[in-house]
Amino acid sequence: MELREMTSHQDWEDEIEETKDESSPKTCCDKIHETISSWMLPTDQRDRYLEKANCLPPPIFIISISIAELSVFIYYAVHVPQKQWITLGNDFWENPLIFQPDKRKEAWRFISYMLVHAGVQHIIGNLILQLILGIPLELVHKGHRIGLVYLAGVIAGSLASSVFDPQVSLVGASGGVYALIGGYLMNVIVNFQDMAPLFGIFRILVVIIIVGTDMGFALFRRYISHEATQKVSFVAHFAGGLAGMSIGYTVFSCFDKNLVKDPRFWICIAAYFAFVIFAVFFNIFFNPVH
């Protein structure tokens, strides 16, 4: 009898503790993750995400890369003498970070160009996009996965530009930003029914409007504008978007799974490296700029 009473008493205490846990007020971090999960994940994955969600580590990658890009812009806009800083002048184009077609042997330029922006409008647009989208994505998928997608877009952007627009310089983080956009957009489209159709349509329309506006400005600067500044390639936008729609989609659709065990990931990686190898050989043997 005593043992039975003790057991029932213990069960009653456990029930009280569970009730307290369920009725405990949600923290600010909990509310943030609930909002993020509704934007970033299909319905059937949100509960699994919220069980493990926390604000640690913070979105270190996307914040760090944004600070680095802003710091480089401020350096060339303020410290290095410029006639104006809305659109940086000729001195700006001599820095060692920009991808220049006649300096493609300096291999770091294929990545470092992402740190350099040609004007206020250029950097503000990229920073807003990558922070608004990148921070929630990184909270869900963590920095190493966001970094993989972002850098895949950056490298794809410079290599594609060197192949399809080989006589034009390249600046800006658009390749990485469009990789994030491409991966997110593909997840919304593929999981459309699970991500609230009406809300899903709104998200797709917002992305299309933003991308369309940005691409319109890029095409205008490349082919229509007659300003004295050097022409800048827009091909990185397309290449970054494609990298995001392949590698990015695979990464973002497996937030709680091991990527190494997903055959889609290896198919995308194989296709990506095939393109990289082709672009490297093109730059070595066939590039028209000498």
Quote the mean pLDDT of the chain: 80
Q: Is residue 7 part of a domain?
A: no
Q: Is residue 269 part of a domain?
A: yes
Helix, strand or coil for residue 194? helix
**Which pLDDT score is estimated for 244?**
94
pLDDT interval class at 225 (50, 70, 90): low
Domain boundaries, position 88: 55-285
| Catalytic-role residue among 66, 237, 246, 253 | 237
Q: Assign 3-state DSSP to the chain and report helix, strand, coil percentages, each to 5.
A: 75, 0, 25
Predicted confidence (pLDDT) at residue 7 exceeds the cutoff of 70 = no
Q: Is residue 180 part of a domain?
A: yes
6 phi, psi to nearest 5 deg:
-65, -40
Q: Is residue 45 part of a domain?
A: no
38 is catalytic: no
**Which pLDDT score is estimated for 214?**
74
CATH number at residue 70: 1.20.1540.10
Q: Is residue 32 part of a domain?
A: no
Number of structural domains the chain divides into = 1
Retrieve residue 120's tokens. 């206020």
Q: Nearest-CA neighbor of 188 among 252, 268, 262?
A: 252
191: how many CB neighbours lie within 10 A of its CB? 16
Q: Is residue 238 part of a domain?
A: yes
Predicted confidence (pLDDT) at residue 42 exceeds the cutoff of 60 = yes
| Catalytic-role residue among 162, 174, 233, 246 | 174
Q: Is residue 37 part of a domain?
A: no
Q: Is residue 162 part of a domain?
A: yes
161 is catalytic: no
Predicted confidence (pLDDT) at residue 160 exceeds the cutoff of 50 = yes
Q: What is the CA radius of gyration of the chain?
A: 23
Highest mean pLDDT: which of 7-11, 74-78, 274-278? 274-278
Helix, strand or coil for residue 75? helix
